[in-house]
Structure 1
């Protein structure tokens, strides 16, 4: 690499003096970029930019080169320059810019970029998730503070990440110096290739100095993210496309990632074979086993993926063969990166994603796997595990609540570091939904009421009976919507909807029931008894509106049920116009209402009526008062007072 850098310096020495030389340098950088040698490309592009050259394509590639290497704060410098030069970019640049802005805590500007991104590509789930979760920082705050984390003490100045626990050892990937004379480097990053290492777990939680894993597993290319079966006889791991001394490449001559399997025979790992769903043309990586070891989960960009990498599962048959990989679907995957899956002992899927609202870079998320192999709501596990940088490869012991994760956050020793943690409070996302059933008129509590809980699609979940003090409660899940229905004899059934927030300890939903049979007597206002809206007439009008006709049918039904009943129709106006005008208008409204009943067959001797104008306002909206149109409408009403029952 020193010779390469010397050559680049020679090229760049003439940049200020020769435009053709500058073009040759940029062409060289473009070639490096297109071959995914991002660090080499950065070296060239930055030197050109440092002499004052401004080029949109160059700024895009500088930003991307750092972005793809998870150096978001450095990417921000060039995305800033890009948008300063031209703020009309392809949609993906708004998303990358937002992620880079989050790396320095500028969430306000990041959210504006995400809003623009969502406007430009309305069907992208990343934008939709942001649009539907604009309070994501508040939600993350609620989920935060649940972990005590510390350094593992085994990190090097290279990359250390992707750990698993096996045989009381922490097995992980590391790019640390292996002591060879010529260290091999990965051209994408100019960093060392990673091999697997193992570190003994001591009783006090500390770790012994790591030693290299078996030579049969480690190759001259990248190995990472191992997982082992419980009996210790099988391991799955990630490696570059390299087996038995042969390196595979895709159509662009890039060596991608594959999953491999090895057997433990006679105290040695052997029989390294690649899994049958690998392919030279796409990557398959980061295996995880289900608790029953009947499924293998992994990340891939295989055809059919929704985003840059998706999570998949594949059945492991009893004879050791594999089924067909299945995409976990849009409940988990986005157009961004979903990667590093882990399935806990209590059947929760932990994974890293940069496609969901988060703190920046890759965040760790969790979703419960339900009985139908679907997923409950996805939640960000919060700080301090998640930061403004890449946080990933989260594993946890479901019994001890201890585990490990990887991050390139600030303050680490190397490019990526492994941290250990203890979870002090579970993110169970289950709460109590409780309330009281009451009589709507008397406010008395109603016992022995059937209360039914439905999900958002009206599928019944549970049913209880209210206690002697009218109480009921259900177990519900955060961030989900429900319907609660109360049913009691002699009462009208009532139903209310509620969305469960993750913030409060308990959700409360009281429900009031109206009696089916309501007492009436002389002086009763039928409009109130029948819950008829009090707004009937438009401004300065006396005709019966269509919506009023529907409500008047209720009064008509009562008059027909009680043929001896007589009612007095009392019409009121708001205070606008003069008092005299309003008296005239309200009289017209009373007469129009009576005429409606007569037309429907009610005898005129059963009906009286009068207009009261603005003399009986129900609020403060008298002359010269400043009121809204809605407040004025409350005064434009009719009352139906029973004056006789015989």
Structure 2
């Protein structure tokens, strides 16, 4: 990216290099330092090179020369200069120079060398967000590759041999910034990169006629820079970036730098932008630039190096009140901002924040990244959007319409027509911002293997906050979507059971099955409790007038056996009951034989006889009105034909 749109723009200054070759190195260095401090990088480069040609070198000179190349996106010369700095003055290399050296190498596709330098960067600093991010994402190239190939990119048909960038959706077309036809004389060129100043243009993006490229009026455009815009949905309010300019004069800070400010204009009935006002949180001491509006128009995002900035420039936001006034600017925090450059925000209708950064792992220079904004918080992971939108040069001012899947961005890639070019694209596959993992399974009783209907399955994050929950259905099944970019605890619980839990770490999003087998809370079971109820046993059936256990009832007795094997101190008494039909004495005898038959079955399965007792009660303990002589249905009588497994100890 031509650094005319960097968060700090160059001081306007005339430069005559004609006499430099005759001057002494120390005088040249003094002049070069003056230009450098004024952000006049192009003249500074010319002077520093002359000094080096005279055989004079120092760590400070190489730092400033490398930075001058770096800020003008001349990454090959920047890498060569930083290499010389590292080789010749290793004791004077601070972490920031390792970082810029690594970024420069990455831009010229020397990735292995870049990784080696980044390793030195991480060793030399312990509290830098870029270092911690690099350690966590050492396979960032694989991650970028996974996100690549989702766009069909083509050059914008209205590009010029000059600099064109900062597209913004405007009615049926676009606004953009360009220095194609400023009408300025050389005295209005700035010395950051010796290019003309920028003005704002509008175009019908789908037209085949270049005649529809129109410069906005003089109320907006001045003899200094105007760039990066944002408009409300109706296209009647315009936010734009401009040099600090007042009453026809540019304003410098105490260092002589012309800062950037955001201005707001309204479209009047004649179709002219008027009522231009600068925003109240602008300052003569720092820059505020690159506006972007939230979908509802109630929040303005922007880039700034104001106090509270983490790096060279950060992304901020500020509330727009109903009366048009503003709240207090808020830094978006270290989930987005690093110690490097975060800039050029754009928010889509689905609240996806796109921005450019050279602090997050990328392919070189500024890359475009995306993250989800939800409930005023950054919800998703910050992801590199991948190739071919991103490349080894600077990629920036990205805009996108989810409805049409169309968008635009700018880049200074070498195959472009001008210094910076706008590119159109169509998204063919969406970027998955929230890595989600489908976790499903069943919740069952550990002893009986019965499904537990209505059990709760919760997701607890690593900070012990409940994220979500689900209830098991009629088949004991549940299904949840987890954030696979973080670790989570999945916990199953239901009344009367001891909760069970499994930890799931970060994953690649592959589906996972987690079945839970819950143990009953035996603390609540004691003397006299019916194990059949605790285990939710089905009715144990016997054939008519017989007392041997039927095959279809064996499974229910096996559940009791499993419980007794699980708890060796458990002792039970098997009680058998009949309904009131038949003679009382016979029912008493039959129930006793059935109770004994159940105990014998359990003994044959290995349960010690001294842990078992049995007793038949016949029809003496009916649980409903169906006594002798009372007319009842078969279903009512069946309730009395039951077996109990009473806990004795």
Q: TM-score range by the shorter chain?
A: 0.7 to 0.9
Matched ranges for 1:127-526 at <5 A? 127-180=131-184, 182=186, 184-202=188-206, 210-265=213-268, 266-430=270-434, 431-437=436-442, 446=451, 448=453, 449-466=455-472, 471-487=477-493, 492-501=498-507, 503-504=508-509, 506-513=510-517, 515-516=519-520
Q: How many angstroms apart in 2 are the aligned matches of 1:329 and 1:120? A: 23
Q: How many angstroms apart in 2 are the aligned matches of 1:246 and 1:436? A: 70
Q: How many angstroms apart in 2 are the aligned matches of 1:345 and 1:516? A: 50
Q: How many angstroms apart in 2 are the aligned matches of 1:512 and 1:373? A: 34
**1:110 positional shift:** 2.0
Counterpart of 1:571? none
Matched ranges for 1:470-619 at <5 A? 471-487=477-493, 492-501=498-507, 503-504=508-509, 506-513=510-517, 515-516=519-520
- Contact residue 359 and residue 387 of structure 1 kept, 8 A: yes
Cα 1:407–1:447 shift into 2, 3 Å: farther
- Contact residue 302 and residue 315 of structure 2 kept, 8 A: yes
Counterpart of 2:64? 61
Instruction: Tell me: higher relative CO, structure 1 or 2? Use CA pairs within 8 A at least 6 residues apart.
Output: 2
TM-score (norm 1): 0.74
Q: How many angstroms apart in 1 are the aligned matches of 2:429 and 2:457? A: 31
Matched ranges for 1:94-105 at <5 A? 94-105=98-109
- Contact residue 163 and residue 404 of structure 1 kept, 8 A: yes
Decide which structure has the larger Cα Rg and report it: 2
- Contact residue 32 and residue 43 of structure 2 kept, 8 A: yes
**1:9 positional shift:** 5.2
Counterpart of 1:636? none
Q: How many angstroms apart in 2 are the aligned matches of 1:61 and 1:181? A: 29
Q: How many angstroms apart in 2 are the aligned matches of 1:399 and 1:512? A: 42
- Residues 1:83 and 2:90 are matched in the alignment: no
- Contact residue 149 and residue 421 of structure 1 kept, 8 A: yes
User: Which secondary structure does the structure 2 equivalent of 1:369 belong to?
Assistant: strand
User: Which secondary structure does the structure 2 equivalent of 1:305 belong to?
Assistant: coil
Please give the root-mean-square deviation of Cα atoms over the aligned residues, in Å: 3.0
Which residue, out of 5, 8, 33, partners 2:17? 8
Q: How many angstroms apart in 2 are the aligned matches of 1:108 and 1:470? A: 52
Q: How many angstroms apart in 1 are the aligned matches of 2:161 and 2:354? A: 27
Q: CA offsets per residue over residues 19-46 of structure 1, 9 Å max, x none?
A: x722222222122112111011111212
For structure 1, list consecutive stretches of 5 or more residues without a partner in the other structure. 15-19, 519-556, 563-641
Number of equivalenced pairs: 518
**1:86 positional shift:** 2.3
**1:418 positional shift:** 0.9
- Contact residue 302 and residue 317 of structure 2 kept, 8 A: yes
- Contact residue 200 and residue 207 of structure 1 kept, 8 A: no
TM-score (norm 2): 0.74
- Contact residue 393 and residue 405 of structure 1 kept, 8 A: yes
**1:400 positional shift:** 0.9
* Structure 1 stretch displaced more, 304-313 or 483-492: 483-492
- Contact residue 440 and residue 480 of structure 2 kept, 8 A: no
**1:487 positional shift:** 2.8
Q: How many angstroms apart in 1 are the aligned matches of 2:127 and 2:425? A: 38
Q: How many angstroms apart in 2 are the aligned matches of 1:311 and 1:30? A: 30
User: Which secondary structure does the structure 2 equivalent of 1:335 belong to?
Assistant: coil
- Contact residue 169 and residue 200 of structure 1 kept, 8 A: yes
Q: How many angstroms apart in 1 are the aligned matches of 2:190 and 2:55? A: 30
User: Which secondary structure does the structure 2 equivalent of 1:8 belong to?
Assistant: coil
**1:460 positional shift:** 2.5
Q: How many angstroms apart in 2 are the aligned matches of 1:175 and 1:480? A: 46
Q: How many angstroms apart in 2 are the aligned matches of 1:61 and 1:138? A: 34
User: Which secondary structure does the structure 2 equivalent of 1:186 belong to?
Assistant: coil
User: Which secondary structure does the structure 2 equivalent of 1:230 belong to?
Assistant: coil
- Contact residue 184 and residue 223 of structure 2 kept, 8 A: no
**1:373 positional shift:** 4.0
Q: How many angstroms apart in 2 are the aligned matches of 1:248 and 1:317? A: 29
User: Which secondary structure does the structure 2 equivalent of 1:64 belong to?
Assistant: helix
Q: How many angstroms apart in 2 are the aligned matches of 1:498 and 1:30? A: 56
Counterpart of 2:38? 35
Q: CA offsets per residue over residues 271-321 of structure 1, 9 Å max, x none?
A: 221111111000000111111111111111111111111111112121121
**1:64 positional shift:** 0.4
Q: How many angstroms apart in 2 are the aligned matches of 1:181 and 1:62? A: 28
Cα 1:201–1:87 shift into 2, 3 Å: same
